[in-house]
A = this chain, B = another copy of it.
Amino acid sequence: MKDMDGIVEVMTALGRAARAAAAELAFATPEAKAAALAAAADAVRARRDEIEAANARDLAEGAAKGLGAAMMDRLMLDAARIEAMAGGLEAVAAQPDPVGEVIAEWQRPSGLKIRRVRTPIGVIGVIYESRPNVTADAGALCLKSGNAVILRGGSESVHSSRAIHACLVAGLRAAGLPETAIQIVPTRDRAAVTQMLRMVEHIDVVVPRGGKSLVGLVQREARVPVFAHLEGICHVYVDRAADPGKALAVVLNAKTRRPGICGAAECLLVHRDIAATLGQEIVDALMAAGVEVRAEGLRGSCPAAPEDFGREFLDMKIAAKVVDSIDDAIAHIRRYGSSHTEAILTEDDTAAARFFERLDSAILMRNASTQFADGGEFGMGAEIGIATGKLHARGPIGAEQLTSFKYLVTGDGTVRG
Contacts and interface: CB of A to CB of B under 8 A. Distances in A.
Q: Looking at chain A, what size class is its interface with the partner chain? A: 35 or more
A377 B412 contact: no
Interface stretch (A57-65, A190-198, A296-304, A403-411): A403-411
A358 B24 CA distance: 8
B23 A368 contact: no
Contact of A366 (B27, B390, B410): B410
Interface stretch (A3-11, A106-114, A176-184, A275-283): A106-114
A149 to B, nearest CB: 15
A414 interface: yes
A366 B409 contact: yes
A192 to B, nearest CB: 23
Interface string A243-269: 101110110110001000000000000
A40 to B, nearest CB: 25
A390 B122 contact: yes
A80 to B, nearest CB: 19
A130 to B, nearest CB: 26
Contacts of A307: none
Contacts of A26: 358, 360
Interface in A361-387: 361-369, 371-372, 377-379
Given A391-B392, A404-B394, A360 B119 contact: yes
B257 A358 contact: no
A58 B248 CA distance: 66
B108 A379 contact: yes
Given A247-B413, A363-B407, 16 more contacts: A108-B377, A119-B360, A122-B390, A204-B391, A246-B412, A246-B413, A250-B413, A356-B408, A361-B406, A364-B406, A365-B409, A367-B410, A369-B414, A369-B416, A371-B416, A392-B392
7 nearest A-B residue pairs (beta carbon): A246-B413, A368-B411, A253-B415, A390-B404, A371-B416, A368-B414, A392-B392
